[in-house]
Structure formats: structure tokens, C-alpha cells
Structure 1
Amino acid sequence: MSQKLKVVTIGGGSSYTPELLEGFIKRYHELPVSELWLVDVEEGQEKLDIIFALCQRMVKKAGVPLKVYKTLNRREALRDADFVTTQLRVGQLKARELDERIPLSHGYLGQETNGAGGLFKGLRTIPVIFDIIKDVEAICPNAWVINFTNPAGMVTEAVYRHTGFKRFIGVCNIPISMKMFIRDVLGLTDSDALAIDLFGLNHMVFIKDVLVNGTSRFAELLDGVASGRLKASTVKNIFDLPFSEGLIRALNLLPCSYLLYYFKQKEMLAIEMGEYYKGGVRAQVVQQVEKQLFELYKDPALKDKPKELEQRGGAYYSDAACEVINAIYNDKQAEHYVNIPHHGHVKNIPPEWAVEMTCILGRNGAMPHPRVTQFDEKVLGLIHTIKGFEVAASKAALSGEFNDVLLALNLSPLVHSDRDAELLAREMLLAHEKWLPNFAECIGKLKTSQY
């Protein structure tokens, strides 16, 4: 790696960027980032300007020799990049609102990474990620792409299934949140070594063992969560409902909070429908939080990441991103929880799948951890179902074909009728037309009722 360490953040006008920069500042002694380039699109220019000014104030206060740049020219930014982070939202939060509202209007869960909403976020996002990868291959082929863009599992699956690019790692803050929760409830100190055996797919992970200083403490953790003595880890963007004691004990696994959408589908839908009938969806809450954040960010006296950012739902995001970069740059051979293809390491799933699991990270990227060689048989059916949905979704994103969208929708366990799948496909394709250029022909036919 070069002494000049250059990081390019695509989606640089995101409200999360100050947290990312805070992570780099905090680690400057071992991760000497000399250039941070913030890239965005024209629609994001205003936010980019605000974020850029705040970042400059943060760097000045920290007194580190890190130079921040901003640009709308991605190719210019990528020159000589060592790491590229992607945190983009095609269509911004208005598109997310459609992802949530349209399914709910038909009585289905509206969520940005699951079901119909997750599919359409993937359809908008995957072609853009592929364009970024083409630019990286042409301009900085040795750079690592660290992707935070949702749906991270679907995006990682698409990249490894449909491109030859190998320096791509999908990262999510859910495993980090679970790790912080475990540290907290077990009363661990910084000197305690915590290792976690985690497996599954993005937003569908389970923990099957927890080792503190080499000794398993999983049984006490599971008992605490099952009995309700320990409040299970959750995230800001999901309603906090406890899993039933019977389910936790029967699984003998700790599920992440996104599994509420599968194990408590009826309850989660009822809550979301209640919010929807009152006129609200999560995207509106987020837009309100964003508005308040950017008002704070504009304040010339603000020189730190404000604590209000935690309300946005991406807690520990910077820790995940910066630690992954740190582990690769410094060849740390450290334990992390990321999305990669396992290449047959896990014995009881297809070898080409991209999965989220405990890995060892170093100079050559992420390798599945030797402790995790099997996925628990009890949840393999659910994992197969969602992987089938991800594979179909990544094909649809590239083909632009109506029938491929229909297939993906019908494979989702959150869509319960082929007729409704057709309604959702038509309505959502038309609603997102601006952000689905490779569906132009398909959308044209929909408008003239040829489907």
C-alpha cells in the first residue's frame, strides 16, 4: 500500500459521512488517510456542500493532515484511490418512501431491504454499483470497494455472480450492533477478547456461539435473552418486539432484529399498517431526522459528529467501515462480519453463494473464519428461500425484464399472491421509472398495456 492513503466515498453527501470521517480521525495513528474524496450526484450537491464544510471543520479541530475534497466527477475522484466506500441511495429518500408506501397500500410489508421494497431498492442500486465497478476497474483496479449500500447482501451477490471483480466486500452495521450489545450485557471491558460465530445472509444473521477470552458464554447470553432478563439487540429503524422465549430456546441461536420480519410477520405488518393508515412510513421519519441533522451540520460552530446522528439508524457504521479498511491496510488478520462469497468453505450450502459470516480480514481481503464451516440446519430452509430471492433479484436488475421482476417478487416469503406480485411489479416499475433506465422498454410496454 502507498504511503499516501486515499479513500473515495461515493454518496459523500450522506448524513453518515461525519461518522465515517470521525472513524478515520480516531484511527489516524494507524490508518493515515491523507485524502478523503466525497463524491455525489447533482441532486445531492447541496447536502454535499454542507457535509464538506463540516468535514473540513472536523479535520481542522482534530489537527490531522487529512485533506478533504468534494466533486460530482466520480472518475476524477477515483484516480489513485486505495479504498472506495459506497453509501449511495438511488432516488434518495423519496424513492424509499415509495418502496414502503406502495407495498403497504396493497397490504404488504414495506421495508427498504426486504420484500417488494427491498427488491426495488436492489433494482435501482445494482446497475449503479456495476457502473462504479467498471470505473474502478478502469481507473484504480487495485482499490478495494467497501460497500455499505443496501440491500448489501443482494448487491454483493450480484457483483460476484455477474462481474469478474473480486475486491468487493459488503459491510453492514447490524453485526457490530449485536457485538456491542453482547459486550454491554456481559459487562465486558476493553481488555476482554470477544469472538462471535455469526452466519447467514445480510439482514438475516444468527449468532451460534460467543467466546469471551476463549470461553463460550453463549448459554448464559441465550438464557438471558430468551427469559427477557436481557433486552435483545435492536436497531433504530425496526420496531422493538421481543422474540418469543420458545422460539429462542428452540432455535438455540440469537437472531438479528431483521428476522422479526419473518418470525413476527403478522405483528410487524400490523404495526406498519397502523403507521401507514396514520399517514406515516419509516422513510418520512428518516427524512425528518435528516432535515434536523443537516440544520445542525450547517452550524459553523459545529466541529464534531452530533449525537443526534444515532437516531438515523446507522449506529457503529463508521466502526464497521473504518475497521474493515484498517484490517486490510494493516494486514491485521482480525475477526469481522462481512458479506463475501464463501467459495465452498461452508459445507452445507452452495459454494458460489455470497453470505454474511464471521471472517478473518487482512491484506488479501476477507476469508471465512475456520470456526464456521456449517450453517445451522434449523434455519437453512429460510436462508435458501431468501438467497433464491436475492439471486432472482440480481438477475432482474440486469435484464430489465418484467417476468424476472415477477419471479423475484413471487419468491419473496413476504409476498403472498401471484396476482398481487403482478400489481406490485406494475405499480412500482411505473413509480420508479426515472431510476430504472434499463427497464425503459419494459416500462414503455406497461404504459401501452402490452403486459
Structure 2
Amino acid sequence: MRSKQNLVIVGGGSTYTLGIIMSLVAEKANFPLRKIVFYDNDKQRQEKIAKASEIILKENYPELETFTYTTNKQEAFTDIDVAFIQIRTGGLRMREQDEEIPVRHGVVGQETCGAGGMAYGMRSITDMVALIQDIRSYSKDAWILNYTNPAAIVADALNREFKADERILNICDMPIAIMHSYASMLHKDVWELVPEYFGLNHFGWFTRIYDKEGNDLTDTIKNKILEEGFIPKDKEIAHDESWKQTFKQARQMLIDFPEYLPNTYLQYYLYPDDLAKKEEIGNTRARQVINGREKRVHEQCDQIINAKTAAMIDIESDIHGVYMIRAAASLVYHLQETYIVIVENNGIISNIPNDAMVEVPASLTKHGPKPYVVGEIPRFYKGLIENQLAYEKLVVDAFYENSYTKALQALTLNRTIVHAPTAKAILNDLIKANQGYWPALK
């Protein structure tokens, strides 16, 4: 019998929270809970999600002893075993700025990649550092699983601030979402697949995919993608036209660079001009989310609250939530299961800097992640990674040093921009848009 845990979900007002709640219901035997608490600094936004979640939990998780939601940090973080952090500093309003400003200058507008990723990252660092400090002041031994974007920049900042804290895990669900599609084309369960993977967050490659018996499925997956196409299978993105196009582009990446299976986000760095041409100022991904997922989730919440039941609403667990929950269970219960996570390099990839925050498979234990050695990577991938790593490091340097020059260097290095005058114009616009969020660059 596994011991029951107390969980706080930081960013309780997120539109992903209902999926996490349903995932907690689905995984309650693997990750049993005594208490769930939501924390958010937006009382109104959280309240709608929380009231609907309370009804879902009463109907589907009667074993749960306590469910609360709050904007009070002491109440939220006291007596917590595990924290899931999913914040968005500035909300979707600022995400829309992140994506529109680059598009105005003819380059990729995306929330985690390029200029938008820098803007979001510079906003996230302050709040993330404060949150970790607050959690630690009330629950010094809690496991903290952070999946706040842009994960690479946030992970680098947290590693600088909390290097000795071995109970912080930075993690992203994109690799498992991609594997979900691999599993579907193989007619297997995603948890039957064993990946070999290396890179930075949103900037990596699957080198091999095996099954639990050790059979190499990599060439089968490649051939199926080339012959049959590649489509998203996770329910949250399967019917999203933008995600369909993203997975279609992943097929083109495999045609052009057939050595490894790419993370879908690499499209922004390998085909930036093509991607930029497809974007529209009035129809950014942020606007699509506002008009799509956010509207849909809030309508579902209203229906549940008004009906006082969730029986008529089609909400299921999702791969995003299940991945985080199973990773947490592996840490808490010392299951030593393998997950792709973000850790300091320290020789894992032998021919890139040790202080890089790399995304690789690791065994998750009660002592933290134990990453598997990747070794030396080929020159093409090393070159791409070191360029991206320099961009990420310069963004975090710019934040801590209040350095305009380093922010400009970062954007000029980024493969979605490259042109220095364009980088400078974008940076100046981002500074204006992020007043009150960014440190004053000089």
C-alpha cells in the first residue's frame, strides 16, 4: 500500500488543470492523495476551475480527504509533499504580445521559441524563483515538479538559484506527447515504449525507440511516418489544426534529416522563414487558445457548476497530466522508472558544456533523477545545440545582469531571427511591452 501524499497545484486556474484532475483520478492507485490544494494569484480565474474540480473530485475521488483552493501562500504550501508548478506570468494577454511582436517584424512568433520564448522566460524567472523560495519556507522537503515554460530558460535560472536543492525536477511533456503518436502507429500503449533521446528542451531528438522486450522499433516508426504521415494523437491536440501542421512538418524534418526522430519544436529553428510566412497578427496561437481551449474549458466549468455534476461533460485524463503524476510517483516511491527530464549535463553529453540543462532519459528515484549517459553526439547536432544553448544562457545572463547587450546577443544568435537589426527592433518592442515584468535593461 503506497502512502498518501499532499499535493499543491500551483497555477490552479490554468486551462490544463481539469485534465490534471482527471489524470489524478485515473492514477489514484499509483499516486494516492490525501489532500489537493490549488494555488493561484488570480482568484477569479482559479475559482471557476476549482469549483468545477471540486465537483469532479466528489464524484470520482471520494477517498480524497481534503480539497481546497487559495491565493494564500502559507495555506497553500504548508504540509505539502509534492508541488506541480504550471504558471504563466502575464497570462494569455502577454503571450499574445510575445507572439505578435516578432510576427510584425517578419519572424517566428511562438511562446517558447525565439523572441517570444525570451520574453516569456524573462517574465517567468522572477515568479518562479519566488515560488520556490515560498514553497521551501513552508515545506522544505517537498518534491517540486516544474513544467512552466519556456522550460529551458526557467531550468537554467532555477539551477543557478537552487543548485543544491535536489528535490526540484524540471520536466516537459512534449517528448511523451510525440511518443503517444509513435505508440498509436505501432498499436501499442505509450508506456510500452523505451526511448533514447538527447537535446535541450524543445530542441532534441529520439535516437532510438525500443519496446520493453528490447526490440528496436526506430526504423519501423520512421518508415510509417514517411509512408503514412504523422499526426498528433493526444486528445488535447489531436483536433487542433496548428498541431496537425506541426506534426506534418516533423515528417519533412525526417525526410531532410533522416538520422534521428525530431522533437516537433525543431521546425521553428530549421524552417524559420517558412513558419514565419504562415503566421497572422490577428490569429496567433495565443488568440487561438483564447478562442479555443480557454473558452471551451471555461464553458465546461460553467456547465459542471450549474448542473452540480460532471456526469454529462466529456473530460478525460491526458498524457500531460499522467506523465507528471507518474514521474512524481517514481520519485516519491523510489520506483526508478525512466522518464525524459531536464538535468544539468555534467558529462551526460560529453562534447557540450557541463553547465547545459539537457533533456535526456533518467531513472527517477527517491534521491532524484539518475540520468543515463548519452556520450558524444555528431557535429551537426552539437553545432545546433551549442548555438541554442548560447542563446538560452545569454537570456538568463541578461536577466540577472540587467544587460541590454546580452539580450540583443541572445536574439541575434537565435535561429528564428539571426539578422541583428531585426533582433534590435524586436528587443526594443519587447522591452516596451514587458515594462513591469522584465528587469530594466541597460
With structure 1 as the length reference, what TM-score do the two structures score?
Answer: 0.88
Aligned equivalent of 1:421 = 423
Report the Cα distance in structure 2 between the residues aligned to 1:246 and 1:357, rounded to whole angstroms: 21
Contact 1:154 1:394 in 2 (8 A): yes
Larger deviation, residues 419-428 vs 82-91:
419-428
Deviation of 1:60 (Å): 0.8
- Indicate whether 1:173 and 2:173 are aligned: yes
Correspondence list, 1:247-326, <5 A:
247-248=254-255, 250-272=257-279, 275-276=280-281, 279-289=282-292, 290-299=294-303, 300=305, 301=307, 302-303=309-310, 307=314, 316-326=319-329
- Indicate whether 1:340 and 2:343 are aligned: yes
Q: Letter of the aligned partner of 1:61 in structure 2?
A: E
- Indicate whether 1:136 and 2:135 are aligned: yes
Report the Cα distance in structure 2 between the residues aligned to 1:304 and 1:47, rounded to whole angstroms: 23
- Indicate whether 1:13 and 2:16 are aligned: no
Report the Cα distance in structure 1 between the residues aligned to 2:189 and 2:126, rounded to whole angstroms: 44
Aligned equivalent of 1:46 = 44
Contact 2:199 2:358 in 1 (8 A): yes
Report the Cα distance in structure 1 between the residues aligned to 2:412 and 2:205, rounded to whole angstroms: 25
Aligned equivalent of 1:392 = 394
CA deviation map 1:40-69 (0-9, x unaligned): 11xx21221111111111111112224211
CA deviation map 1:95-146 (0-9, x unaligned): 0000011111111111100111100000000111111122233221211211
Contact 1:222 1:252 in 2 (8 A): no
CA deviation map 1:238-278 (0-9, x unaligned): 43333466854644100011111122222211111xx22xx
Q: 1:244 to 1:180 in 2, by over 3 A?
A: closer
Report the Cα distance in structure 2 between the residues aligned to 1:249 and 1:305, rounded to whole angstroms: 46
SS state at 1:390 partner: helix
Aligned equivalent of 1:145 = 144
Aligned equivalent of 2:194 = 195
Identity %: 25
CA deviation map 1:282-318 (0-9, x unaligned): 11110112023202111223527955799xxxx5210
Deviation of 1:418 (Å): 1.8
Give RMSD over aligned pairs. Answer: 2.4
Report the Cα distance in structure 2 between the residues aligned to 1:267 and 1:283, rounded to whole angstroms: 19
Paired residue total: 427
Contact 1:124 1:397 in 2 (8 A): no
Report the Cα distance in structure 2 between the residues aligned to 1:180 and 1:57, rounded to whole angstroms: 29
Contact 2:198 2:206 in 1 (8 A): yes
SS state at 1:208 partner: strand
Q: 1:296 to 1:433 in 2, by over 3 A?
A: same
Deviation of 1:222 (Å): 1.6
Q: Letter of the aligned partner of 2:336 in structure 1?
A: Q
Aligned equivalent of 1:380 = 382
CA deviation map 1:12-39 (0-9, x unaligned): 1111111112122222223221111111
Q: 1:172 to 1:369 in 2, by over 3 A?
A: same
- Indicate whether 1:25 and 2:32 are aligned: no
SS state at 2:249 partner: coil
Contact 2:345 2:353 in 1 (8 A): no
Q: Letter of the aligned partner of 2:29 in structure 1?
A: H
Contact 1:15 1:293 in 2 (8 A): yes
Contact 2:122 2:395 in 1 (8 A): yes
Q: 1:20 to 1:412 in 2, by over 3 A?
A: same
- Indicate whether 1:61 and 2:68 are aligned: no
SS state at 1:101 partner: helix
Q: Letter of the aligned partner of 1:296 in structure 2?
A: Q
Larger deviation, residues 7-16 vs 68-77:
68-77
SS state at 1:197 partner: strand
CA deviation map 1:131-182 (0-9, x unaligned): 1122233221211211111001111112113433332211212111121111
Contact 2:84 2:144 in 1 (8 A): yes
Report the Cα distance in structure 1 between the residues aligned to 2:232 and 2:13, rounded to whole angstroms: 29
Report the Cα distance in structure 2 between the residues aligned to 1:76 and 1:341, rounded to whole angstroms: 32
Contact 2:30 2:326 in 1 (8 A): no
Larger deviation, residues 344-353 vs 82-91:
344-353
- Structure 1, unmatched stretches of 5+, are 443-450
- Structure 2, unmatched stretches of 5+, are none
1:331 to 331, 334, 353: 334
Q: 1:189 to 1:168 in 2, by over 3 A?
A: closer
Report the Cα distance in structure 2 between the residues aligned to 1:26 and 1:246, rounded to whole angstroms: 35
Report the Cα distance in structure 2 between the residues aligned to 1:244 and 1:215, rounded to whole angstroms: 23
Which aligned runs of 4 or more in structure 1 are off by greater than 6 angstroms? none
Contact 1:342 1:368 in 2 (8 A): no
Contact 2:23 2:316 in 1 (8 A): no
SS state at 1:57 partner: helix
Q: Letter of the aligned partner of 2:85 in structure 1?
A: T
Q: 1:186 to 1:374 in 2, by over 3 A?
A: farther
Report the Cα distance in structure 2 between the residues aligned to 1:421 and 1:16, rounded to whole angstroms: 33
Contact 1:198 1:207 in 2 (8 A): yes
SS state at 1:13 partner: coil
Correspondence list, 1:76-225, <5 A:
76-164=75-163, 165-189=165-189, 193-212=192-211, 213-225=213-225
